[in-house]
């Protein structure tokens, strides 16, 4: 079970549509490369076939993700509860350091030094999911157990 936001779902559907459109282009590329002759030593043909295989694998991956994903409905989530799409300020109970985290359905790949993305399947994401403002959560991170107090929902 994979929780995603509506924006994540839209992004996945958009990529899927783009990749499905690429099928014809990749097929045409293979056909043009095949016309060049000997397939054993035809680098263009092998590259086009590899691109086609990677595209089909990604299509299957996206279709599988959409078939098992649950779009999080945040309209019924209490204002003080952490859920998919929430941005929270956490304070490390031991050190007092504060950091901003965003609970996302899928990592965007964008680097933002001000806000760290976590997914609900990560250790911190599981600890944060459905926790409330003011609570202290415990997460078993790779460097050991950490406790965070939820300071603010942004």
* Domain 74-153: CATH class, spelled out: alpha beta
Domain assignments of the chain as residue spans, ordered by start:
2-69, 74-153
> pTM score, two decimals?
0.63
pLDDT in tens, the chain (154 residues): 677 778 888 989 999 999 999 999 999 998 888 887 777 778 888 899 999 999 999 999 999 988 988 787 666 666 778 888 888 999 999 999 999 998 887 666 667 778 888 888 888 988 998 888 889 999 988 888 999 999 988 8
Alpha helices per DSSP H over the chain: 6-34, 43-68, 123-128
Query: Radius of gyration (Cα) for the chain, nearest Å?
Result: 22
Question: CATH number for the 2-69 domain, one of 1.10.287.180, 3.40.50.10320, 3.40.50.170, 3.40.190.10?
Answer: 1.10.287.180
- Cα 75 to its chain centre, rounded Å, is 21
């Amino acid at each position: 079970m994979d929780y995603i936001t509506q924006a994540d779902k839209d992004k996945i559907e958009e990529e899927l549509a783009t990749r499905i459109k690429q099928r014809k282009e990749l097929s045409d590329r293979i056909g043009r490369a095949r016309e060049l002759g000997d397939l054993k030593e035809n680098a263009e043909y092998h590259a086009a076939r590899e691109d086609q295989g990677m595209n089909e694998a990604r299509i299957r991956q996206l279709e599988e993700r959409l078939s098992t994903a649950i779009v999080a409905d945040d309209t019924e989530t209490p204002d003080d509860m952490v859920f998919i799409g929430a941005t929270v300020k956490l304070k490390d109970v031991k050190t007092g350091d504060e950091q901003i985290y965003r609970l996302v359905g899928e990592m965007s790949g964008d680097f933002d030094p001000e806000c760290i993305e976590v997914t609900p399947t990560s250790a911190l994401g599981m600890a944060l999911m459905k926790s409330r403002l003011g609570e202290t959560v415990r997460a078993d991170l790779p460097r050991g157990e950490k406790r965070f107090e939820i300071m603010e929902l942004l």
